[in-house]
Each structure stands twice: as C-alpha cells, then as structure tokens.
Amino acid sequence: MVTWAAPYTVPLGLVAALALLGQGCRVREQVEGPYAFTATSVEKDECLLVPASGELFAGDFFSTGNYVSIRYDWYGITLAGQYRSSALLDTSPESFFADGSAQNVTARVGPLSCELDVATVHMDGLTDSPSAFHGTLRFRYEARQPPGCLCESWVSFQAVRQ
C-alpha cells in the first residue's frame, strides 16, 4: 500500500494498472506479413498507375507498439507511420497511417518517360480483421520537366494477407 503519496491509501496494483493504461497499451490485431493490395475504386489516376485488373503493388506489414512499417513494392519504398490514437477502451477498428518516398527514380506516365525528383505515397488504413485492412493510397510524382510527369493517383484499396 502507498500511504506517503496522498492523505489516503491507494493499492499498488491500481497504481500499476493506471500507469499501463495511461501509456496507451493496446494489443494490435493486424497480423504482420505479406499483403496483396487491390484497388476498390479510383478517385484520380493522372499517373496511370492502376491497371484494369485493379491489382496494386504488394507489401509487407510490420508493427511494433504504436508504430507501423510497410515495405511496399512501389520503388522499394518503406512506408513508416503509426496507429492513430483512440480513447481508452475504444473497441472501434484501429486506424493507422504511413508515408514513404523515393528520390531520383524513373517512371512512365503514358507515353512520357519521366526522371522524377521524388515519388511519394501516403496510406491511410483501417483494420477489417486480423488478416485484412482497407483504406486509401495517394501517390505523387514530382519532376521539373516535362510538365506531364507531375501527377497524382488516389486509390481506395483492400489489402489481404497472403
């Protein structure tokens, strides 16, 4: 029992439990490993990235505590991010975000061959089950010349563990 910290007695077990809860400890249900990404809708595809089949790039999902990492097949980018904060005892699906970039890469945008200064991707994800999640991907090509190489693609996706 702790008696010196306050004028009243507080059980040590309660203090330890509150300390853990205050740290945001939560079991993450998303299973690590390889995932196949498929487009469910395309909001914008200026970069012409989304094939008619809807199959997008594959990726390997990893998490450590509140942090997520996705080793994505698009230019070998590793996306880094974290789970979004949620209220204590919140049972809603977990959401996360991750960002990545590659510098000085080449790409084709229709008939154009582009030397990109940077290719970036932003992902927002929401857990559906331990082996599936869905969300949005926003790809962006940045290049000084030609103007047609500066483009964005916005895609809603479903990712399923392989």
Mean pLDDT, 10 residues at a time, over the chain (162 residues)? 54 51 64 97 95 93 96 96 87 94 95 95 97 98 90 97 97
* Contact criterion met (CB below 8 Å) for 60 and 79: no
- pLDDT at position 145 is 82
Q: Which domain holds residue 147?
A: 27-161
State the total domains in the chain.
1
- pLDDT at position 86 is 82
Q: Report if residue 155 sits inside a domain.
A: yes
Q: Report if residue 114 sits inside a domain.
A: yes
Give the closest residue to 39 by CA, choosing from 29, 52, 21, 27: 52
- pLDDT at position 146 is 87
* Contact criterion met (CB below 8 Å) for 19 and 10: no
Taking phi first (over 0 means left), then psi (-120 to 50 degrees means alpha), and beta for anything else, what does residue 23 get? Answer: alpha
* Contact criterion met (CB below 8 Å) for 145 and 35: no
- pLDDT at position 155 is 97
Q: Report if residue 1 sits inside a domain.
A: no
Q: What is the CATH number of the domain that holds 58?
A: 2.40.128
Q: Report if residue 117 sits inside a domain.
A: yes
Q: Report if residue 7 sits inside a domain.
A: no
- pLDDT at position 3 is 54
CA atoms within 13 A on the CB side of 3: 1
